[in-house]
Amino acid sequence: MKLGFLENKGVIGMIHCLPLPGAMNYGGDMQAVTDRALADLEAMERAGVDAVIVENFCDKPITARLDPGQMAALSAVTALVKERSTIPVGVDAAFCDPVAGLAIAVATGAEFIRVPVFTDTVITAAGRIEPCAAELMKWRRLLGGEDVALLCDIQTKHTFMVSSAISLEESASMAEENGADAIIVTGAHTGSSSSVDTIQRVRGATSLPLIAGSGVNANNLPEQLSLVDAAIIGSSMKRHGKAWEPIDYELAKKLMDAAKAFRVGL
């Protein structure tokens, strides 16, 4: 599968949906949810972002699987974003329901999904999350989703590995061996960047495209993009860096101007 943002130092912007039906802070207005998602898409497209991910990041408390209300709402929002978008669209069914994300991608025509926990075993606020690779690959075949790319995190943010004996390199190798199409590296939490050493260690362990999944901003973007193939960016395009805030066009443009300047120098 060919995704241009994995070949040209692309920037993947985050559409953090407002809380969805079933979540603690759902406001009771799905129109407000879809309006915000489409406004974020428009702002990022205008700024020149290369792709977007639709995610239910604001649904708290986090769960290991989406409930029916969340899944229906995330499907509806993704379908509208995909209909309006002129750039590739991905899905992240948070915290880690990649089968739901895959089903939504197949149903809406989205090009890729983010898989926060693919081959690791981690502890989160939702409890213990087990590897999903075998189940996800099975459903990929059953749903006819072989063309949906799997962007898979290793030792991802907001989690603790069950076994500290497993190295980053081993996690990267396991993800590649089990069918990941690209590997995402992150800092400890949203807004924190991966160290140069972390990225270099993972780069040496896999031949897959490498994506910086947190903490990239206009200031550190040149350094981060020099080490990876693409970056997923959300909070640094928001006025106070909060997930529930709208995308700020001026911040998005500043970031994309830095990305374009970096590409010119390649």
Q: Is the pLDDT of residue 12 over 90?
A: yes
Whole-model pTM: value is 0.95
Q: Is the pLDDT of residue 2 over 80?
A: no
pLDDT of residue 188: 63
- 3-class DSSP string for the chain: CCCHHHCCCEEEEEEECCCCCCCCCCCCCHHHHHHHHHHHHHHHHHHCCCEEEEECCCCCCCCCCCCHHHHHHHHHHHHHHHHHCCCCEEEECCCCCHHHHHHHHHHHCCCEEEECCCCCCEEECCEEECCCHHHHHHHHHHCCCCCCEEEEECCCCCCEECCCCCCHHHHHHHHHHCCCCEEEECCCCCCCCCCHHHHHHHHCCCCCCEEECCCCCCCCHHHHHHHCCEEEECHHHCCCCCCCCCCCHHHHHHHHHHHHHHHHCC
pLDDT of residue 191: 60
pLDDT, tens only, 173-230: 999 999 999 999 987 666 667 888 999 999 999 999 999 998 899 999 999 999 999 9
| Greater model confidence, 193 or 64 | 64
pLDDT, tens only, 81-103: 999 999 999 999 998 999 999 99
What percent of the chain clears pLDDT 90, i.e. is strictly above it?
Answer: 85
- Those residues whose C-beta lies under 8 Å from the C-beta of residue 102, and which sit 6 or more positions away, are 91, 113, 136, 139, 140, 143, 145, 148
Mean predicted confidence (pLDDT) in 124-140: 95
Mean predicted confidence (pLDDT) in 98-110: 98
pLDDT, tens only, 19-37: 999 999 999 999 999 999 9
Mean predicted confidence (pLDDT) in 66-95: 97
Surface-to-core class of residue 52, CB atoms within 10 Å of its CB (0-12 exposed, 13-18 middle, 19+ buried): buried
pLDDT of residue 16: 98
The domain tally of the chain equals: 1
Domain span at 197: 4-264
Average confidence score pLDDT of the chain = 94
CATH number of the structural domain spanning residue 174: 3.20.20.70
Mean predicted confidence (pLDDT) in 135-162: 95
pLDDT of residue 143: 98
Q: Is the pLDDT of residue 1 over 70?
A: no
Handedness of CA 59, 64, 70, 72 (dihedral sign): positive
